[in-house]
């Protein structure tokens, strides 16, 4: 009993000394200003601590008779609440536990929603996931028009659903179609759009310099306006039920018809199935939860939401997507430290698709960019690409025409090497020919300063072979961008054993500035990404030769979860590039990289079927048309190279696993050989660079989930028919032998 007393005193003392750290409030006359600020993080998340303190504060505010209303605001400049704490969900072992978490959240927000004292959410910065659900439970929302202010429900991208009332409140707030759009795409909504949708009530402009820093004063101003709103609501100067316009009345009437709603569910369901091929359970559960609420009432709706949330949290898809999220965060950090000097002047050689694409993602990041080509025509094309990229952003209202112009003032197009003496980094994106690359490296090294880094953008040539022509191989590095550069998030950086750490740090820093997700891999033919893709493409060619037409091949690969089918991917990459890579890597790795006949690709190139860029490849591309037909000449061509399929390994499923297992095996081999730093980078590279199915989380997570033993079993079966193309690598065999071995903990 003595210990009990001691404990009691101890805990009393604790609560005395451990004041609230995450949530605090200040009463300004009749308004309580509740401020959130997680002291241990750049962003606020709805962690257990945050929630507990919030409930405490909320109770005190409700109990305080002097307070008539409240403002909820974050003290962090760029973040309201970034979402729920993912770790909180991952710590659960059963779906029931997760359902309980969801129900606790629902309960808390229900109290907020039913609060007798109006609560105004004052939003500056990201208001996502659980943060948005919190905000929409409040009576009123004011948001800044800052570029950092985004609202959204990104749960679907983690294989989850908005589990704290989001699926129930959103349809009522923004309408059924709007709510589905938000929850099924997970996209970020800017303040202006949010106001139009009815997601926020009032907007506040960000402020410039005054008597305090713009960030600080903007938050203060937001608070002032929110306090005015809170008082306005109390004094009935602001009405919470807005008079409905004609359009709104019509819309409400239409949505009130059960038949119309059924059509919408059906329609949305159809779209989701078409896009996701049924591989992603979250969108379907979102539709289900919304439907439950609207058709069977709130009790069923909230229950469905909580239960579905619990179920989703236990799916392998959610696990995979959350893994990718963590991986992506990890690959947005520079593990090589801060480079000795920042790159302020970047020169790009070659104004082709890649070169101009690299310029496009660099020029608006405050880096002066030189784009050099050898011909006026080539240079003009590249400059036009950069211009168009920026101009398209104006159309999307992401930037103004003035911002385009001032951004473009950082781009210099030229045909000579003038000014290269100021370059901090040169990225060459010239033709993939070792002799040309050697000539270029010599030319460039004659004009650049000693500290300048020479990066080469190649998809397959080993960096050490290119560096052989360099006088300072420690400054040579590979930067493998993916096309189209402005859309593809991945950058694969390749270091040789001579590349210095500072060179790597600098390349990563530039890539991060360009907004890339970065993997840093070792040197070797095809590095990591190209090396994984090559055997899969070789298998795809074999599949084509065995009589599967390109459309069917695409259907099989997308059916497995690849966003782009194998035949379409080959067209996008370029048949000539694929032929080139297949031949090069074939030489480097020998018969293991065989499969389809390289001559299929070569013949296609000879006949001008180089893929999308030439208008014909596996498909025929008509400018302006989205749909594409199979190239009619391809049948004849494939007929010449026809192979007889072996029925024992040619079912649809077998074809899929033949394609995927070769990819996965090569990825594992890259880890085994030390090309890869770890399975996380392997997964990120495969998903973000090559479109490996995100629902599988990458090749390594796939092995963990699917089972190495089962995969090896399949490969052995294919090996019997096709030989060493399917021989599993040692690391994969190790994992197959010991089921405790996993790539991801």
Partner 1 sequence: MNAIRGKTSFKTAHLLQACPYLTATRSLSTSVQLHAQVQTKSKKTLAKPGVKNIVLVEGVRTPFLLSGTTYADLMPHDLARAALQGLLHKTSLPKDAVDYIIYGTVIQEVKTSNVAREASLGAGFSDKIPSHTVTMACISSNVAMTTGVGLITAGQCDTIVAGGVEFMSDVPIRHSRKMRKTMLALNRAKTLGQRLSLIGSIRMAHLTPELPAVAEFSTAETMGHSADRLAAAFGVTRLEQDEFALRSHTLAKQAQDAGLLSDVISFKVPGRDTVAKDNGIRPSSMEQLAKLKPAFIKPHGTVTAANSSFLTDGASAVLIMSEEKALAMGYKPKAYLRDFVFVSQDPKDQLLLGPAYGTPKVLARAGLTMDDIDVFEFHEAFAGQIMANLKALDSDWFAQTYMGRKVKVGAPAMEKFNLWGGSLSLGHPFGATGCRLVTTVAHRLLKEGGQYGLVAACAAGGQGHAMVIEAYPQ
The reply on whether position 393 binds partner 1 by CB under 8 A is no
Closer residue to partner 1 (CB): 221 or 663:
221
Q: Which stretch binds partner 1 (CB under 8 A): 207-215, 384-392, 411-419, 660-668?
A: 207-215
CB–CB of 609/631 below 8 Å? yes
From 492, 539, 666, 681, the catalytic residue: 492
CB–CB of 726/715 below 8 Å? yes
Measured between alpha carbons, how far is residue 207 from residues 202, 224, 542 in Å?
16, 13, 61
The reply on whether position 228 binds partner 1 by CB under 8 A is yes
For the bound state, the minimum distance from the C-beta of residue 148 to partner 1, rounded and expressed in Å, comes to 16
For the bound state, the minimum distance from the C-beta of residue 118 to partner 1, rounded and expressed in Å, comes to 17
CA 129 to chain centre: 16
**Helix (DSSP H) and strand (DSSP E) numbers for the chain:** 31, 22
The reply on whether position 400 binds partner 1 by CB under 8 A is yes
Measured between alpha carbons, how far is residue 418 from residues 80, 308, 481, 715 in Å?
48, 62, 25, 55
The rounded distance, in Å, linking the Cα atoms of 374 and 726 is 44
Pick the binder of partner 1 from 172, 196, 210, 608 (CB under 8 A): 210
The reply on whether position 340 binds partner 1 by CB under 8 A is no
For the bound state, the minimum distance from the C-beta of residue 215 to partner 1, rounded and expressed in Å, comes to 11
For the bound state, the minimum distance from the C-beta of residue 207 to partner 1, rounded and expressed in Å, comes to 4
The rounded distance, in Å, linking the Cα atoms of 235 and 241 is 14
- How many other CB atoms are found less than 10 A from the CB of residue 507? 28
The reply on whether position 96 binds partner 1 by CB under 8 A is no
Closer residue to partner 1 (CB): 118 or 162:
118
Q: Which two tokens stand for residue 280?
A: 């992603």
For the bound state, the minimum distance from the C-beta of residue 143 to partner 1, rounded and expressed in Å, comes to 13
Closer residue to partner 1 (CB): 205 or 629:
205
- Binding residues for partner 1, rule CB under 8 A, total 16
For the bound state, the minimum distance from the C-beta of residue 209 to partner 1, rounded and expressed in Å, comes to 6
Pick the binder of partner 1 from 39, 116, 208, 624 (CB under 8 A): 208
The reply on whether position 225 binds partner 1 by CB under 8 A is yes
Q: Which stretch binds partner 1 (CB under 8 A): 42-50, 170-178, 214-222, 469-477?
A: 214-222
The reply on whether position 235 binds partner 1 by CB under 8 A is no
Pick the binder of partner 1 from 207, 426, 519, 585 (CB under 8 A): 207
The region, left, alpha or beta by phi > 0 then psi within -120 to 50, assigned to residue 125 is left
Contacts of 515 (CB under 8 A, 6+ apart): 361, 365, 489
Q: At what angle do helices 529-545 and 550-560 cross, to 10 degrees?
A: 130
The reply on whether position 209 binds partner 1 by CB under 8 A is yes
The reply on whether position 217 binds partner 1 by CB under 8 A is yes
The reply on whether position 204 binds partner 1 by CB under 8 A is yes
Measured between alpha carbons, how far is residue 188 from residues 138, 331, 514, 599, 622 in Å?
20, 21, 20, 46, 33
For the bound state, the minimum distance from the C-beta of residue 120 to partner 1, rounded and expressed in Å, comes to 12
CA 598 to chain centre: 34
Point out which residues pair with 189 in neighbouring strands: 151
- Site track 552-581 with partner 1 (rule: CB under 8 A), x = hit: ------------------------------
The reply on whether position 212 binds partner 1 by CB under 8 A is yes
Closer residue to partner 1 (CB): 214 or 484:
214
The reply on whether position 395 binds partner 1 by CB under 8 A is no
Q: Which stretch binds partner 1 (CB under 8 A): 51-59, 212-220, 253-261, 635-643?
A: 212-220
CB–CB of 408/386 below 8 Å? yes
What are the start-end ranges of the E strands in 586-720?
619-620, 629-630
Instruction: Clarify whether 492 is annotated catalytic.
Output: yes
The rounded distance, in Å, linking the Cα atoms of 373 and 385 is 14
The reply on whether position 366 binds partner 1 by CB under 8 A is no
Closer residue to partner 1 (CB): 215 or 719:
215
Closer residue to partner 1 (CB): 113 or 215:
215
**Which 144-203 positions form the footprint of partner 1 (CB under 8 A)?**
202
Secondary structure class of 1 (helix, strand, coil): coil
- For residue 212, the 8-state DSSP code is S
Closer residue to partner 1 (CB): 242 or 249:
242
CB–CB of 518/495 below 8 Å? no
Q: Which has the closest alpha carbon to 119: 135, 98, 103?
A: 135
- For residue 161, the 8-state DSSP code is -
For the bound state, the minimum distance from the C-beta of residue 408 to partner 1, rounded and expressed in Å, comes to 14
Q: Which two tokens stand for residue 182?
A: 């938000």
Measured between alpha carbons, how far is residue 741 from residues 324, 416, 680 in Å?
20, 55, 15
Enumerate binding residues for partner 1 (CB under 8 A): 202, 204-205, 207-212, 214, 217, 221, 225, 228, 400, 402
Q: Catalytic positions, please?
A: 492
């Amino acid at each position: 009993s003595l210990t009990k007393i001691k404990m009691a005193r101890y805990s009393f003392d604790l609560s005395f000394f451990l004041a609230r750290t995450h949530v605090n409030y200040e009463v300004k006359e009749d308004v309580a200003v509740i401020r959130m600020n997680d002291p241990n993080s750049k962003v606020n998340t709805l962690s257990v601590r945050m929630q507990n303190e919030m409930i405490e504060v909320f109770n005190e505010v409700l109990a305080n008779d002097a307070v008539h209303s409240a403002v909820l605001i974050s003290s962090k400049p760029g973040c309201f609440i970034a979402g729920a704490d993912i770790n909180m969900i991952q710590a659960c072992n059963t779906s029931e536990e997760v359902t309980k978490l969801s129900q606790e959240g629902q309960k808390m927000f229900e109290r907020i929603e039913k609060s007798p004292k109006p609560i105004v959410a004052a939003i500056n910065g990201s208001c996502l996931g659980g943060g948005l659900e919190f905000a929409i439970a409040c009576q009123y929302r004011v948001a800044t028009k800052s570029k950092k202010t985004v609202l959204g429900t990104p749960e679907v991208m983690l294989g989850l659903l908005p589990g704290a009332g989001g699926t129930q409140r959103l349809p009522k707030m923004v309408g059924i179609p709007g709510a589905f759009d938000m929850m099924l795409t997970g996209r970020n909504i800017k303040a202006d759009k949010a106001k139009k949708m009815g997601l926020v009530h009032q907007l506040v402009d960000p402020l410039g310099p005054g008597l305090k820093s713009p960030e600080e004063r903007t938050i203060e101003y937001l608070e002032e306006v929110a306090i005015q709103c809170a008082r306005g609501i109390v004094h009935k100067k602001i009405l919470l039920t807005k008079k409905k316009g004609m359009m709104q009345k019509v819309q409400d009437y239409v949505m009130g018809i059960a038949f119309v709603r059924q059509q919408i569910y059906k329609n949305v369901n159809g779209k989701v199935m078409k896009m996701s091929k049924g591989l992603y359970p979250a969108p379907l559960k979102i539709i289900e939860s919304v439907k439950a609420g609207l058709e069977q009432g709130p009790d069923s709706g909230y229950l469905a939401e909580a239960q579905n949330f619990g179920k989703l949290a236990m799916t392998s898809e959610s696990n995979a997507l959350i893994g990718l999220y963590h991986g992506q965060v990890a690959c947005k950090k520079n593990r090589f430290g801060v480079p000795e000097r920042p790159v302020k002047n970047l020169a790009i050689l070659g104004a082709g698709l890649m070169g101009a694409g690299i310029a496009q993602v660099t020029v608006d990041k405050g880096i002066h960019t030189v784009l050099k080509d050898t011909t006026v025509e080539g240079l003009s094309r590249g400059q036009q690409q950069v211009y168009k990229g920026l101009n398209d952003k104006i159309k999307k209202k992401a930037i103004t025409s003035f911002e385009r112009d001032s951004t473009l003032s950082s781009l210099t197009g030229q045909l000579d090497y003038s000014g290269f003496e100021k370059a901090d980094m040169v990225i060459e994106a010239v033709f993939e020919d070792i002799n040309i690359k050697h000539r270029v490296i010599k030319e460039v090294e004659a004009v650049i300063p000693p500290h300048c880094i020479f990066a080469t953008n190649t998809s397959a040539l080993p960096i050490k072979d290119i560096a052989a022509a360099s006088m300072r191989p420690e400054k040579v590095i590979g930067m493998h961008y993916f096309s189209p550069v402005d859309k593809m998030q991945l950058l694969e950086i390749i270091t040789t054993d001579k590349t210095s750490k500072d060179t790597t740090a600098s390349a990563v820093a530039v890539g991060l500035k360009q907004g890339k997700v970065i993997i840093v891999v070792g040197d070797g033919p095809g590095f990591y990404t190209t090396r994984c893709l090559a055997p899969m493409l070789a298998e795809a060619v074999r599949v084509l030769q065995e009589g599967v037409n390109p459309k069917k091949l695409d259907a099989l690969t997308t059916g497995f979860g690849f966003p782009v089918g194998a035949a379409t991917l080959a067209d996008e990459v370029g048949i000539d590039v694929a032929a080139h890579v297949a031949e090069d890597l074939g030489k480097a790795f020998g018969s293991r990289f065989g499969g389809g006949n390289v001559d299929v690709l070569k013949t296609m190139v000879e006949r001008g079927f180089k893929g999308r860029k030439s208008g014909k490849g596996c498909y025929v591309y008509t400018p302006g048309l989205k749909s594409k037909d199979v190239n009619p000449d391809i049948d004849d061509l494939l007929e010449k190279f026809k192979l007889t399929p072996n029925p024992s390994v040619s079912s649809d499923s077998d074809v899929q696993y033949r394609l995927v297992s070769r990819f996965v095996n090569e990825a594992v081999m890259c880890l085994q050989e030390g090309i890869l730093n770890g399975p996380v980078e392997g997964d990120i590279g495969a998903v973000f660079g090559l479109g490996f199915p995100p629902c599988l989380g990458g090749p390594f997570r796939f092995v963990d989930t699917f089972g190495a033993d089962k995969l090896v079993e399949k490969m052995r079966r294919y090996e019997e028919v096709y030989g060493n193309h399917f021989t599993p690598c040692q690391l994969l065999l190790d994992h197959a032998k010991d089921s405790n071995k996993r790539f991801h903990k």
